[in-house]
Amino acid sequence: MSNSMNDIILNGELISEAEATIPAVTSGLYYGAGAFETFLSENGEIFKYNEHIKRLNAALKYLGLSKNMLIDADSVLGQIKKLLQKNNLLDEKARIRIQVSLSEKPGYSGKDEASVLTIISASGCKKPVSPQHLVLSDTSVVPSSARPTQFKLSNMLHYRQAFREAEKKEADDAILLTIGGFVAETSIANIFWLKDGDVYTPSKECDILPGIMRKSIVYILREELGYEVNEGKYSMDELLIADAVWLTNSAIDFVPVSKIEGISFDITNGLFSDLSKQLSDYKKENMIHV
């Protein structure tokens, strides 16, 4: 297995990373005008691949791209297979990123048809096995009135800043609040917690990026495990009295939280083993082969 991204796909062409060149003067570079998706390939299978492409295309429509400029799911899937084969990752666990950046000239006008740079990368990946230590970030999530929070747009500097705050405090990740002071998400994941037998998670009204894995976990908890899942606006005080806490995203599935701001949480709760089993079965039913 290769841990480095020796090869990428740039606008459909398989080339070495060292050979890749992109225009210097573009709105993608100047303003972060672009969108991306990240997900895992696990032994040549991808969980809910089409949902990722659907969300990416919705983000590209928001950025002003016409229908003929959108991602073709079947074509990109074939490119991903070639990339995994080239990087010796087809039978491994690999992190895939599809980055689409606008290469129109700098400026805010949308009068001219934009061209795009599409980069697909793949690298070896290991899911975190250790329970996560979280801290509270001084950075807030960006409200949905300023940008659509349901898309992975390239300009996500608030997440970057929050993650760096966690690093400085020697933590794994940081919790961001809404500008109103409610729990939103971490810099890389959605957050859930268990209290007195019920599950809680911030709602979309909390300006979260509602992840594909988050949606899957909510479904499993409600439909397969019979939990009451409450989606709403919650304070840090409500989170800090939880019985158990965990994070979810498409790269980690879910991982327990051991500590938040010095407060410890149960990492052996029976919910975790039940959820792990049900998620494993659910993923098998929703995988697509590259």
Query: Average pLDDT by consecutive 10-residue portion of the chain (290 residues)?
Result: 70 93 85 95 97 98 92 97 96 96 75 81 84 98 96 95 98 98 98 98 98 98 98 98 97 96 97 97 97
The contacts of residue 72 (CB under 8 Å, 6+ apart) are: none
Structure letter (DSSP) for residue 208: -
Q: Coil, strand, or helix at residue 47?
A: strand
At 252, phi and psi to the nearest 5? Answer: -105, -10
Helices (H), 120-252: 157-168, 212-219, 236-240
Q: Which two tokens stand for residue 255?
A: 């991982």
Superfamily of domain 132-288 in the CATH hierarchy = D-amino Acid Aminotransferase, subunit A, domain 2 (3.20.10.10)
Residue 179's pLDDT is: 97
Residue 107's pLDDT is: 67
Q: Which fold has domain 7-124?
A: D-amino Acid Aminotransferase; Chain A, domain 1 (3.30.470)
* Cβ(242)–Cβ(257) below 8 Å: no
Residue 2's pLDDT is: 43
Domain boundaries, the chain: 7-124, 132-288
Q: Which two tokens stand for residue 165?
A: 């705050």
Distance of CA 105 to the CA centre of its chain: 28
Q: Which two tokens stand for residue 263?
A: 């407060």
- Give the whole-angstrom CA distance, residue 134 versus residue 263: 10
CATH topology of 7-124 equal to that of 132-288? no
Residue 108's pLDDT is: 72
- Give the whole-angstrom CA distance, residue 288 versus residue 229: 28
Q: What string of DSSP letters covers 59-87?
A: HHHHTT--GGGS--HHHHHHHHHHHHHHT
At 182, phi and psi to the nearest 5? Answer: -95, 150
